[in-house]
Each structure stands twice: as structure tokens, then as C-alpha cells.
Amino acid sequence: MANRSDTYDVRVGVRTRSLSDSRLQYVRQLGATDVFVDHADTEEEPDEFNDRDGTDTIAVGPDHIPSVAELTAAQARVADAGLSLTGIHSLPYSMYGDIMFGRDGADEALDRITTLIENLGTAGVPILGYQWNPRSVVPMRTTPVETRGGAEATAFEFDELDDPHALAPDLDREYTEEEFWENYRSFLETVLPVAERAGVELALHPADPPVLESLGGIPRLFRNVENFEKAMALVPSDNHGLKLCLGCFSQMGEDVTEVIRRFGADDDIVFVHFRDVVGTVPEFHETFVDNGNFVPAEAVRALRDVGFEGAVIPDHVPKMVDDDDWRHRGRGFTVGYLRGVIDTVRTERSAHPIEVE
């Protein structure tokens, strides 16, 4: 038997819409190695991912599925900068919403997603992140707050929602959790065989904010650990796992090291969003990664102990003084901090090794 920590290989990456020469050069200068490309539907993302330096990118949306040639060209461009194009960070809601609600257009949406997976596999891009979260319908965050040194951070306060139990504006009825689970099962039954043939891993992100069973008449399936376990067991596949957002599980009030051990033991972690918050639902705000609910070094040790080999990336970061739209200073701080913690933990001997065959 081998100790999983003996092959410890955690890399630091970034998510970015832009693949401009200057953006890639900056990422390389930070010492990050992996690049995840954000999708094209900018109105669905927080402000920090709507950077204006986003003309050099891979457009991913219902109106454009990148071809193998486009993906291969982007991969070469990223490689020329000394980096690796590791995945598409996430599907926009506009690509999966009809599937989630079981509406007309679901079959066409599935065709677009399976085509994207096939193209990624042919081009050798190994990961496709996704979520089951109607972010264009329900507010993801409320009024921002100031954190350390006056940096601006996103926040969520349930009491600021106008009427969380009222139907979302574009719905004509409430949806049940059973309906959403059945639509989700159909999605997995269609896309996972394609992903297995293509050699692409799908990575599921939590609901954010992970509050209530239903919000605006829409079930929040991935609001807790138990529902993630159900998702992994629903249609078992080695090509399905978690985009493990530590910030979301921190928002839930979970012990993130136990979450890592729980899913890492089954090799269900595809890549990691390394961020944190202060507080838990129904009221929390994001903060610098060294100033939140959990201890980053303990989380990295847990990743080492379960033998995770992959990328950890900053997600939302505070906006620092003179930051650009992409928050290059806040992101740069986080990349540097993570690299330091990972390098330190790499030199330690695992205190809780997990043995594997």
C-alpha cells in the first residue's frame, strides 16, 4: 500500500475570461500554472469576472460552442506563455437552464453541452466545470462590505432580500425538489457517457448562497454535503466530481477539512475553489483567504492527506486599492499566499495518511 501523500502534487491556477498576452504573462509571473477559462455570458457573473480585458478569449455560450480548432489554438497560446489550459471554468446558466427546469429547448441544450464535451476531449482540455444554480434569477450577493484595510468584499445578508419566498420574476410556478432531481438525473445520464468517452471530467459547484431548500420558487439542490453525496451516487462515474468550493462549504458552517476528507477519500475532488468568508448563512461576507472561518494550512494538509492532485484556484477575492476589473491585486495576493502555504505543507510529513492499494 502507498501513502497518498507520497505523490502530493497540488498546483495553483486562476480563472480568467481574458487570454490576452498581458493577462497570461501576469499569471505566469505570479507562479500559477493552470488556466480555467470563464464563459462568455458576463451578466451572469460577479463584477470581478466581467473584466474589460476579455476580447481575447474562448466564447462559451448557447450561441457559440468552441470548435476543436479554437480550443487547440487557445491551448497553444496558453502553453506558449508557460501555462496549461486545464478547463472551462463553468457553463453559463443560459446553457443549462432549460435542462434544469425541464423546459422546451432542453434537448437542444443537451446537444450543445455534449458537443462542447466532445470538442474538449478531442482538443485535450480535461475539465468542464458546471453548476445547477439559476444565478441570473436569484441574487448571489447583496450589499458589499469593507474588509481588511478598506478592501471591498462581496456579502450576503438574507434580510436584504425583498421577498425570498416570492416567485422569481420569470417563473409562473414553484418547482419541486423531486422535479429538479429528476431533471438532474436525466442530465447526468446523457452527458456522463459522453464525458467518459471523451476523457473529460465534469466538476459540480455548490449552490451559492447555500441558503434555504428553495429560493424564489427554485430548489437549491446543492446546498449541503448530503445532497452532494447524492449527486455523486445518482449516476456513478469516474468522470464526475466536485468543483470543491471551500468558501461555499464554509458559508454552510461545515468543517472544510472534514468535507475535503469526506469527498477526497472517494477521489471525488476535480479542482478546488480556495476562498473563505466570515460568518455563515444567512449572513456572511467574503474576505482575504487568510482572514476567514477556516485555517488555510489545515485545508491544504487535508488535500495532501487524501492525495488530491490537481489545481486550487482563487475564486472571489476582495477588491484592493487600484485593482483592475479582474482584481489583479487581490488575485495576485491570493495566488502568492496559496503557493506559500502549499510549499510549506509539501515539506511536512502527513499526520493522517490515507493508505490506498
pLDDT of residue 40: 72
CATH code for position 53: 3.20.20.150
pLDDT of residue 357: 43
* Domain membership flag for residue 357: no
The C-alpha cell that represents 354 in the structure block = 490515507
Task: Say what the pTM is.
Answer: 0.92
By the 8 A CB rule, do 142 and 156 touch? Answer: yes
The C-alpha cell that represents 27 in the structure block = 499569471
Find the distance separating the first CA and the last CA of the chain, reported in whole Å: 5
* Domain membership flag for residue 356: no
* Domain membership flag for residue 226: yes
* Domain membership flag for residue 214: yes
pLDDT of residue 2: 35
* Domain membership flag for residue 150: yes
Q: Where are any strands of DSSP class E within the chain?
A: 2-3, 9-16, 34-37, 84-88, 127-131, 145-146, 152-153, 155-157, 201-205, 214-215, 218-219, 240-245, 269-273, 276-280, 283-287, 309-313, 355-356
Classify residue 170 as exposed, middle or buried by CB count within 10 Å of its CB (0-12, 13-18, 19+): exposed
pLDDT digits (tens, 9 = 90+) for 248-293: 999 999 999 999 999 999 999 999 999 999 999 999 999 999 999 9
Does residue 88 sit in helix, strand or coil? strand
Nearest of 221, 330, 317 to residue 273 by alpha carbon: 317
* Domain membership flag for residue 73: yes
The C-alpha cell that represents 149 in the structure block = 484595510
Residues in the chain predicted with pLDDT less than 50, given as ranges, are 1-5, 355-357
pLDDT digits (tens, 9 = 90+) for 92-149: 999 999 999 999 999 999 999 999 999 999 999 999 999 998 765 567 889 999 999 9
Q: Which residues contact 202 (CB under 8 A, 6 or more apart)?
A: 117, 128, 129, 130, 191, 192, 195, 239, 240, 241, 270
CA dihedral defined by 40, 268, 311, 64, rounded to 10 degrees?
A: -20
* Domain membership flag for residue 57: yes
pLDDT of residue 216: 86
| Domain span including residue 14 | 2-348
**What's the total number of domains in the chain?**
1
pLDDT of residue 46: 54
**Cα–Cα distance between 108 and 99 in angstroms, integer?**
9
* Domain membership flag for residue 219: yes
